[in-house]
Chain A
Amino acid sequence: MASAGIDHMISLTIFMVAILVFIGFFSQTMQTGIAYERHSALSTKASDLLDGILLSPGIPDNWGQSDNKIGGFGLQDPEFNNYRLSSFSPMKLTSSTQSPVYYNGTYYGNLTAGFGGYLHAPYEKSVDYSTASEVMGINGTYGFRLSLTPTITVLIEKISTTGAPLQFSVDVAGTGFLLSNSAISYSFLLINQDGSEYPSYAIVSGTTTTDSSGSIELPAFSAVDGESQAYALIVYSYLNGLKGVGYYVHVPPSLTKTVVPLIDSFQNRSILIAHEDSVGEPPMPPSSSELNYNTSFIILTEDYTLRQVQLDQPTAFGQIVYGSGSGQDNASINVPDNDGILIVTFKDTSSQYGLVLMPWGLGSMAFPVTFGGDPAGQDWVTTDIRQVTVGGISYQAKLELWNIQGYSRVVK
């Protein structure tokens, strides 16, 4: 009798366990299927969103050249089709990776990449992640990060050691490949350290081709002291429709002050030339410092040479003073409506010379942009990529998308 009872107890237990195991396995299989469907849906959403961003100019369509708030988010150049992006709209995106800078009661976004180049746009006239999410209709549903990265990397290195002559090497590479035999067009900007009150510069241009490893040593600049003089080199590389740009800026180590260009208005194309000491929070303690500056604008011509455009306005050159009651610590200038590069040359009271560059149009100096949230720690992030151009320069647009509602949401 006892053995029959034990048999029944065992069989009942096994039966219950079998039921639970069945439910467990079955549920797990279903959950795996659901997860697959969700990932698939997220991929489609990423593709749709990326096309929505890259193939529409946004609302209004010229928001990149306006100080008004946006109604729709899109980066396409309103005058062109396909994956050709506006040069100006990406400049209004608030970087998610670089800290802002503070000047005169306003925070400025920071898209700067590399020494001697600046790109700061005021937060109040920029587009932040939250606004973009809202106008795209994904606020509270999806998180995203949009990256615009130059497809071609043009790396410039100074290979001469000290003094004259000055020589550079240029290495050109794509994303995972070398750019062999690509055409190179370079422009060397050398400040005329001739004692004039507002320093000017001269441009020396040339063309060459990279070797099979994507490298080239540029001809030496025999009369240039690579240490004590201030200069910049801008190099364009192009091959079969792929275009890239790189730059190099050098100022003497003895130069202790610089100027910082800050975008004041996209609509009026006005730039503030600010004294370095007045930028930051809090600004440097006042100790009188004067800088004489001279501004000009260069645009890229069809044959990849730079054409200088004189900024015909009273503030195109002058003096900015920090720490003195009389002088202004900034000057405002207006740039043309073309893509180009603003060049500010300057010297201090001890005749130390320097220069800074600021792209007007993101592609002019191939600055990258990373915009949006942080995908770290998300359950599942899907990525989609498109090849685009910004101001003629080849970029890779990458969208990372994730569901911020998690994966526990069920049918409504």
Chain B
Amino acid sequence: MAHITIEYMIMVPVLIMQIFLFPLTATVIMDTWVDQRRNLELQEIAGHLGSSIQQLYFTINRASISVGSLSSKLDIPTSIDNYHFTVTFRNATNPSGSTRILNITLNLLKNNVVASTIVTLGENADWNDNSVYYSNSISIINATKTPSVIQLSLVGGST
């Protein structure tokens, strides 16, 4: 009888522990998967946004366009798993005087998932440093050319 008691004393805690261990393991693995997927998606959006801004800049930077404004519809989701993200424009360190480098940082408003990309633009490119945009309020990239600068920004609205 003593043996049976000892065995039950081992088995019962193990079985009770598995009630917690099983879902905990599943949760940890799922969280890892979800975070990695969100991070990847955020990186993809950052890269695509950078590429779109670069193409818009080079389109309006032609000598044949002296002044004017050009817009491009943003082909990115407004949220990831129903969580919005912010887009921040920053000046990046620039070793060359002939270019300006735009650092685009995306921050998912959940679990602090961050992705960033840099875009190399000409010296006449300009943007508001540290300007923050919310993903649910942007749908268009706007480039406005004046004789001296090309101002880049993200705006809402529909095309």
Query: Which of the segments B111-119, B129-137, B141-149, B150-158 contacts the partner chain?
Result: B111-119
Chain A, 1-33, contact with B by CB distance < 8 Å: what is the 0/1 string?
Answer: 100110010011001000100110011001001
Q: Which residue of A is nearest B117, CB measured?
A: A137
The B-contacting residues of A in range 71-127, CB under 8 angstroms, are 71-74, 76, 78
> A residues within 8 A CB of B39?
410-412
Contact partners of B40 in chain A: CB under 8 A: 34, 37-38, 40-41
Q: Are A59 and B36 in contact (CB under 8 A)?
A: no
User: Total contacts A to B, CB within 8 angstroms?
Assistant: 117
A330 interfacial by beta-carbon distance below 8 Å: no
Interface positions of A (Cβ within 8 A of B): 1, 4-5, 8, 11-12, 15, 19, 22-23, 26-27, 30, 33-34, 37-38, 40-41, 44-45, 48-49, 51-52, 55-57, 59-61, 69, 71-74, 76, 78, 135-137, 410-412
Choose from A4, A52, A135 the contact partner of B51 (Cβ within 8 Å).
A52
Question: What are the residues of chain A within 8 A of B122 when measuring CB–CB?
Answer: 59-60, 71-72
The residue of chain B having its C-beta at the shortest distance from the C-beta of A2 within the complex is B3
B113 touches A5 (CB 8 A): no
B121 engages A72 (CB within 8 Å): yes
A61 — nearest CB in chain B belongs to which residue? Answer: B61
B5-29 near A? 1/0 per residue, CB < 8 Å: 0010011001100100110011001
User: Which residues does chain A contribute within 8 Å of B10, judged by CB atoms?
Assistant: 8, 12
Please determine whether A12 and B99 come into contact, CB atoms closer than 8 angstroms: no
A200 to chain B, nearest CB (A): 41
Please give, as numbers and ranges, the residues of chain B lying within 8 Å of A52 by CB-CB distance.
51, 54-55
Contact A27 to B29, CB < 8 A, known contacts A8-B7, A37-B37, A136-B120: yes
Name which residue of chain A comes closest to B8, CB basis: A8
Q: How far is the CB of B85 from the nearest CB of chain A, in Å?
A: 14
**Interchain CA distance A30-B29 in the complex, whole Å:** 8
Decide: B3 and A44 in contact? CB cutoff 8 A: no
Which label, helix, strand, loop or mixed, suits the secondary structure of the A interface?
Answer: helix
The answer to whether B98 touches A137 (Cβ under 8 A) is: no
Question: A411 to B121, Cβ gap below 8 A?
Answer: no
CB-defined contacts of A57 to chain B, threshold 8 Å: 58
* A45-B58 in contact (CB<8A): no
Can you name the residue of chain A whose Cβ is closest to the Cβ of B119? A137
Q: How far is the CA of A48 from the CA of B49 in the complex (A)?
A: 9
- Closest chain A CB from B65 CB (angstroms): 12
16 contacts between A and B (CB under 8 A): A8-B11, A12-B10, A19-B18, A23-B25, A30-B30, A34-B36, A34-B40, A41-B47, A48-B47, A51-B51, A55-B55, A59-B99, A71-B120, A137-B50, A411-B38, A412-B114
With a CB–CB cut-off of 8 A, which chain A residues contact B4? 1, 4
Contacting pair A4 B3 (CB below 8 A):
yes
Instruction: Kindly list chain B residues whose C-beta atoms are within 8 Å of the C-beta of A40.
Output: 40, 44
Whether B98 contacts A41 by the Cβ 8 Å rule is no
Taking CB atoms, residues of chain A closer than 8 Å to B72 are: none
Q: Say whether B48 faces chain A, with CB atoms less than 8 Å apart.
A: yes
> Can you add 19 more A-B contacts, CB < 8 Å, to A60-B98, A71-B98, A411-B113?
A4-B3, A8-B7, A15-B15, A26-B29, A27-B29, A30-B30, A37-B36, A37-B41, A41-B40, A44-B47, A48-B47, A56-B58, A57-B58, A69-B96, A71-B120, A137-B101, A137-B119, A410-B36, A410-B39
The main secondary structure of chain B at its interface with chain A is helix
| B96 partner residues in chain A, CB cutoff 8 A | 69, 71
**Most B C-beta atoms less than 10 A away, residue of A15, A19, A30:** A30
Docked pose: A48 CA to B54 CA in angstroms: 10
Chain B residues positioned under 8 Å from A34 (CB to CB): 33, 36-37, 40
Residues of B within 8 Å of A41, CB to CB, are: 40-41, 43-44, 47
> Which residues of chain B in 46-67 are interfacial with respect to chain A, using CB atoms and an 8 Å cutoff?
47-48, 50-51, 54-55, 58, 61-62
- Interface: B32 (CB within 8 A): yes
Q: Which residue of B lies closest to A412 (CB)?
A: B114
A44 touches B114 (CB 8 A): no
Which 5 A-B pairs have CB atoms at the shortest separation, nearest pair first?
A71-B99, A48-B51, A137-B118, A56-B58, A411-B35
Instruction: Report whether B55 and A59 are in contact in the complex, using a CB–CB cutoff of 8 Å.
Output: no
Please state if B3 and A15 are interface contacts (CB–CB under 8 Å).
no
Contact A15 B14 (CB under 8 A): yes
* Cβ–Cβ < 8 Å partners of B35 in chain A: 410-411
Cα–Cα distance between A92 and B37 once the two chains are bound (Å): 39
A55 touches B58 (CB 8 A): yes
| A33 contact from B25, B33, B119, Cβ within 8 A | B33
Q: Which residues of B contact A56 (CB under 8 A)?
A: 54-55, 58
B117 to chain A, nearest CB (A): 6
Chain B residues within an 8 Å CB radius of A74:
58
Tell me the bound Cα distance from A23 to B23 in angstroms. 11
A69–B61 CA distance with the chains assembled, in angstroms: 20
Tell me, in angstroms, the Cα distance from A410 to B28 when the chains sit together: 14
Q: Which residue of A lies closest to B57 (CB)?
A: A56
- Separation in Å of the A348 CB from the closest CB of chain B? 47
A78 CA / B59 CA spacing, docked (Å):
10
Cross-chain contact B121 with A15 (CB below 8 angstroms): no
Are B18 and A15 touching (Cβ within 8 A)? yes
